[in-house]
Chains A and B, each alone.
Chain A
Amino acid sequence: MTTPEAHPLGRGHGRLVTGLFAFALTLLVGGIAGALLISGFKARVEETARRDVTVIGASLARSLAQQFEKAARFGIPLKLIPGVESYLSQTLNQTPGIARIVLRGPDGREVRSAIGPAAGQDMTTAAISVDGLAVGQVDVTTSPSAFSGAFGDVGLQVAGAVLVCAALAGIIAGTVAGGALDRRRRRLVVAMARNVAGELDGGPQAAMLGHGPVGQAFDALARGARRVGEKWAGFQAYAEELLAVDFDGRLRPEVERIRREALPRGGRQPSDRAS
């Protein structure tokens, strides 16, 4: 037969389960909240950058329009100017925040263009005119998101931080919260096993364990053990009282028999652990 201290129910998995739960919960909530925070702030930064990128786009459109005006003054049609496509591509690659440059003819149809990988957001237009006559236009589409590459680097660092914080939360929660729960479970099981064995054990002071379910369980155990203990003490006092007035010793064998029969199963006298 196992002793109360070695009772199999005393071995709980609170440490492991609590640690894993805290890890997963922190990873989930922290990860989602962090991702929402980053994406919202990134959108705000891009919105703020929009005006500056539009200024760059307008300046670029104006500058390109002036250059095409010079060619147009010599009577060269926009379509026939050599190397325009590669020049526009080079300009697009060298100017940050530009998504697309389109050179249009006087009828508004696209003549040449350069398109970058980023999606455009705002478009600025500069007219190409010679002696007041419109010969075409330059459309420059800007993309503020081209500047938010710094947030991509932050994403990896943040993911690492989330993982580290979640791991720490799991370890601390497993040790501090889960470990305490396992210890209290073991103490409760040992105390109840002692009561089953006939020994009145009220466990530790329930007030020290708070008002949660754990404290309530120890409180119920202490109250029950105290009640039986008080009843046993009253019975013993009554027996001693009878023996005290049994001057000829006639009642003693009978009182001792009744005492033995009143003992809990196992024959041990209840201890005073409950007091």
Chain B
Amino acid sequence: MTFVGRLVLIVAAAVLAILIVVAAGAYLAGQRVTAEIERARVSHLLGNLRSTTEANLSIGLALDQVSSLQTRIEREKAGDSSILAIDIFNLSGRSIYSTDRGAVGEAVPDTWSKPSGTDEIWSQSARGETVFGTRFDNDLGPAGGISVSVSDSARSGRNERLLADLLGRTAAAALAGVIVAGLLAWTFAAAMTRPFRNVASILRGEDAAVVPGRGMEHLASQTRRAWTRSEERIDAGTRQLEALDDDA
């Protein structure tokens, strides 16, 4: 393989490797951003529902007396297509308000009511959905919990769209990068191999002028002159042999 071929191949491979690493990093960052946005959106909703619930409990109402919560959670679900269900349950893990009316009065999964002891927003992923939850308190301490179930398909669909976009951008950047790198490498290789091109030209006799200096061109010029002198001596010898032959 020629010098320029090797150089272009190596630089193009390195540029492609860089873009693959960059694309992988960008995709992971994009996934993280998507997850953070979803968490922020649901956390905000949970915070609002919690403060509303606690405000009602603080004025002495029992949880099952705050019927406005049912309207509120249905309105929130209607406003966000990725929300599958919102449940508000009491301390014993029984659903009091739910966007799934059939679930009202039923027990929520144990795993939902267990994390209610913490003040942090918890999350659990299973069967293509992620459940985010938090607890709410009354004057005596923890009084129950709120859960919001979000479909994972919306998030994975968004990640797939971002991936398709990223692949298109990477392909375009790779094409442009390889072309630019290839052209610059070709220019550099042309400069690096110019002495060889000059040597070929001198040795072929296309540019037989004596080249000053100490470069390869000068040596090629000396080589060419050495050949010429050899040929002249051989020609002279041949003529002398011919004369000898004729005399004999």
Residue of A nearest to B199 (CB): A217
Q: Secondary structure of the B side of the interface?
A: helix
A30 near B241 with CB under 8 A, answer no
The distance from the CB of B188 to the nearest CB of chain A, in whole angstroms, is 5
B32 near A29 with CB under 8 A, answer no
**Bound-state Cα–Cα, A29 to B80, Å:** 43
**Bound-state Cα–Cα, A174 to B144, Å:** 68
Q: At the interface, yes or no: A106 with Cβ under 8 Å from chain B? A: no
Of B5, B7, B14, B238, which contacts A165 at CB under 8 A?
B14
Of B33, B180, B200, B244, which contacts A29 at CB under 8 A?
B180
Residue-wise, chain B 191-207 has the 8 Å CB interface mask toward A (1 for contact) of 01111110111011000
Chain A residues with Cβ under 8 A from B62's Cβ? none
Residue of A nearest to B202 (CB): A220
Q: At the interface, yes or no: A87 with Cβ under 8 Å from chain B? A: no
Chain B residues with Cβ under 8 A from A18's Cβ? 7, 192
Chain B residues with Cβ under 8 A from A33's Cβ? 15, 18-19, 22, 173-174, 176-177
B233 near A262 with CB under 8 A, answer yes
Q: At the interface, yes or no: A5 with Cβ under 8 Å from chain B? A: no
Beyond A25-B184, A172-B10, whether A53 also contacts B26 by CB under 8 A is no
- Tally of contact residues, A, Cβ under 8 A: 102
- Tally of contact residues, B, Cβ under 8 A: 88
Chain A residues with Cβ under 8 A from B184's Cβ? 25, 29
B197 near A217 with CB under 8 A, answer yes
The distance from the CB of A56 to the nearest CB of chain B, in whole angstroms, is 5
B230 near A9 with CB under 8 A, answer no
B4 near A212 with CB under 8 A, answer yes
**Bound-state Cα–Cα, A162 to B166, Å:** 18
Of A41, A209, A212, A265, which contacts B229 at CB under 8 A?
A265
Of B18, B181, B223, B240, which contacts A161 at CB under 8 A?
B18
Residue of A nearest to B51 (CB): A63
Chain A residues with Cβ under 8 A from B197's Cβ? 213, 216-217
**Bound-state Cα–Cα, A150 to B28, Å:** 9
B44 near A196 with CB under 8 A, answer no
Q: At the interface, yes or no: A138 with Cβ under 8 Å from chain B? A: no
Q: At the interface, yes or no: B17 with Cβ under 8 Å from chain A? A: yes
Additional pairs, 11, CB under 8 Å, beyond known A38-B22, A225-B227? A22-B185, A25-B185, A37-B169, A38-B26, A44-B165, A49-B34, A52-B41, A169-B14, A184-B196, A261-B240, A264-B233
- Which A positions have Cβ atoms within 8 angstroms of B? 7-9, 14, 17-18, 21-22, 25-26, 29-34, 36-38, 40-42, 44-45, 48-49, 52-53, 55-56, 59-60, 63, 94-97, 147-148, 150-151, 153-154, 157-158, 161-162, 165-166, 168-169, 172-173, 176-177, 180-181, 184-185, 188-189, 192-193, 195-196, 198, 209-217, 219-221, 223-225, 227-228, 231-232, 234-235, 238-239, 242, 246, 251, 254-255, 258-259, 261-265, 270
Residue pairs across A and B with Cβ atoms less than 8 A apart, 25 shown, are A7-B219, A9-B215, A32-B177, A38-B25, A41-B26, A41-B162, A41-B165, A150-B32, A151-B29, A153-B29, A161-B18, A185-B195, A185-B216, A188-B216, A189-B219, A195-B226, A212-B3, A214-B193, A217-B200, A235-B238, A235-B241, A238-B238, A251-B248, A262-B234, A265-B226
